[in-house]
Amino acid sequence: MLSNPTISNILSTLDYVVFALIMVMTIAFVLWGNYRKNKQDIKDKFLDHMLMGRQLTLPMFIATLVATWYGGIFGVSQIAFDNGIFNFVSQGIFWYLTYIIFALFIVSKISRFKALTLPDLIGQMFGPKSEKLSAIFNILNLVPIVYTISLGLLLKMIFGISLPIGIILGVSFVLCYSFIGGFRSVVYSDIFQFFIMVSSVIVVYLLSYFTYGTAIFDTLPASYFEPMGTFTFLETLSWGLIALSTLVDPNFYQRCFAAKDFKIAKKGILISTIVWIIFDLCLTFGAIYARAVIPEANSEFGYFLYALQLLPEGLRGFFLAGICATILSTLDSYIFLAGSTISYDLVPKKFKASIKAQSLGILSVAIFAIILSLIFDGNIKKVWKTLGSISSSALLIPVVFGYISKRKISDNVFLVAASSGAIATILWRLSGFKEYYQLDEIYIGMLSSFIPLLFNHIRNRFIKIDNEI
């Protein structure tokens, strides 16, 4: 195999035909979702637009959650290509534990609220100022920079265009169908993309195993098969703390709010976790095979170049479509939900619950994503660590504290805690203390958000004691 082949020399006419057919089928599912919506007598059009009228069945829930949650495949495959099993730990195991926590503990907590978005839920739990602030932090988490970059990289790899052009073309394509049909169309497209993305990655792993066996792994450093690889314990654990951001991830909440009931949400998350484990194992070992076979390849594209040379004609087009489906299913969901957050949680009340406002929100998020993608210059890992740390530090501790606290936390206390976490995270990163002390900013941010909550808890205890006296 070649370490840096020309993609146009690998792909055949059949590959392009297969790729195009699957992309057409994706659009067909979007249109089908919109057709089904128009055939129904819908009383609350905005609720249907936002949450499919809270009618998500278990199969739909699993398909849309799995497909939406795995758009950063370029970043994950690059980590696996460079670091081996560490990818399964940092991008897998930590996250599975968080999914289980969400299913077993968080779902029951949110079941008593009739919220439409995560900021809406936070507003009901703490107050209106908390809703506005959490909406801003959610926008940071939802602006799909990682997936915009990933789609741009894919188009760059296939067509040989520059990354900025690939990003602009890719987001423009997504915008063309993101305005159609609301959340229902997102779900219907996810159902199709779910099967394409999962099966394509499994096929690459199986063909790798039957072609090379496991003896080829002996050529790789031992660190490739160690849980922490070449990273320290604290560096590894920081990924675990970022994984906990799932507990305040708006996509998880949106799917739970859209489910027919919260039993479906709980069961759906647990089944989705099994699917993610299979997907991650196949992707991680596929990337390890790629490193063993073409070690000189650029890690950014190594897994994909390996797969395209390994697969036979026709399946290459199917694989590319699977990768594209993986990115698209996340990108359209994030753009839609970010637009929903702007139109429902941030705009003045007279524009609230407006489908037109939501469409404008989608457009503004897409433009913002393109700009930030170019600023980060395609560095996916940097995006994850930067924005993931800010969002987690601001919201995770206050929201979880709100779930477990017997006494309601006030709007102002939430505001102070969330702001402290975000500010401390940014200052620690900009000051250079992160490199000097070798301590990730997420630790400082979470500690800073916890201190006001702890102070408030102790204060309330003293007030209670005084009242009893």
- Four-residue CA torsion sign, 128, 250, 408, 390: negative
465 pLDDT above the threshold of 70: no
Of 211-215, 253-257, 308-312, 323-327, the one with minimum mean pLDDT is 323-327
Contact (CB, 8 A) for 314 and 18: yes
Q: CA neighbours within 13 Å on the CB side: how many for 71?
A: 28
464 pLDDT above the threshold of 70: no
Can you tell me the mean pLDDT for 48-58?
A: 88
Of 7-16, 259-268, 298-307, 380-389, the one with minimum mean pLDDT is 380-389
For the chain, report the end-to-end CA distance as a whole number of angstroms: 80
383 pLDDT above the threshold of 90: no
Task: Specify the pTM.
Answer: 0.87
140 pLDDT above the threshold of 90: no
pLDDT, residue 130, reads: 93
Residue 114 domain flag: yes
Structurally, the chain folds into a number of domains equal to: 1
Number of helices (H) and strands (E), helices first, in the chain?
A: 23, 0
Q: How confident is the model at residue 59 (pLDDT cuts 50, 70, 90)?
A: very high
Range of the domain at 294: 7-380
Q: How confident is the model at residue 264 (pLDDT cuts 50, 70, 90)?
A: very high
Over the stretch 275-302, which tens digit does the pLDDT of each residue have?
Answer: 999 999 999 999 999 999 999 988 888 9
Residue type for 131, please? E
Q: Which residue has the higher pLDDT, 360 or 100?
A: 100
State the CB neighbour count (10 A cutoff) for residue 469: 5
Alpha helices in 259-354 (DSSP H): 262-293, 302-310, 315-341
80 pLDDT above the threshold of 70: yes
pLDDT, residue 253, reads: 93
Burial label for 456, CB within 10 Å (0-12, 13-18, 19+), is buried
Can you tell me the mean pLDDT for 326-348?
A: 85
Residue 261 domain flag: yes
Contact (CB, 8 A) for 247 and 397: no
380 pLDDT above the threshold of 90: no
Over the stretch 147-175, which tens digit does the pLDDT of each residue have?
Answer: 888 888 888 877 778 888 988 988 888 88
Q: Dump the DSSP string for 367-386.
A: HHHHHHHHHTTT-HHHHHHH
**Which of 206-212's residues contact partners 24+ apart within 8 Å by CB, and which partners?**
207/310, 207/311, 208/285, 208/286, 208/289, 208/310, 209/285, 211/310, 212/289, 212/292, 212/293
Contacts of 161 (CB under 8 A, 6+ apart): 155, 169
Residue 247 domain flag: yes
Q: Dump the DSSP string for 376-438.
A: TTT-HHHHHHHHHHHHHHHHHHHHHHHHH-SSPPPHHHHHHHHHHHHHHHHHHHHHTHHHHHT
- Four-residue CA torsion sign, 333, 389, 134, 342: negative
413 pLDDT above the threshold of 60: yes
Q: How confident is the model at residue 89 (pLDDT cuts 50, 70, 90)?
A: very high
User: For 250-272, what is the HEC assignment?
Assistant: HHHHHHHHHECCHHHHHHHHHHH
- What does pLDDT average to over the chain? 86
Over the stretch 233-246, which tens digit does the pLDDT of each residue have?
Answer: 888 887 887 788 88
Three-state secondary-structure class, residue 464:
helix
pLDDT cut 90: percent of the chain above it: 37
Q: Find the Cα–Cα–Cα–Cα dihedral 312, 316, 318, 320, rounded to 10°.
A: 160
Residue 346 domain flag: yes
pLDDT, residue 35, reads: 75
Q: Which residue has the higher pLDDT, 442 or 366?
A: 366
Of 1-5, 23-27, 48-52, 165-169, the one with minimum mean pLDDT is 1-5
Residue 29 domain flag: yes
Residue 353 domain flag: yes
Q: Find the Cα–Cα–Cα–Cα dihedral 248, 251, 256, 259, rounded to 10°.
A: 170
Can you tell me the mean pLDDT for 439-460?
A: 87
pLDDT, residue 378, reads: 54
Distances (CA, A) of 74 to 146, 326, 378: 9, 10, 10
pLDDT, residue 328, reads: 86
Over the stretch 28-43, which tens digit does the pLDDT of each residue have?
Answer: 888 887 777 777 766 7
Q: How confident is the model at residue 398 (pLDDT cuts 50, 70, 90)?
A: very high
pLDDT, residue 142, reads: 80
382 pLDDT above the threshold of 80: no
CA angle 54, 62, 380 (to 5 degrees): 105
Q: How confident is the model at residue 52 (pLDDT cuts 50, 70, 90)?
A: confident
CA angle 453, 459, 465 (to 5 degrees): 140
Residue 439 domain flag: no
370: domain CATH number? 1.20.1730.10
Residue 278 domain flag: yes
CA angle 279, 140, 29 (to 5 degrees): 50
Residue type for 421, please? G
pLDDT, residue 46, reads: 81
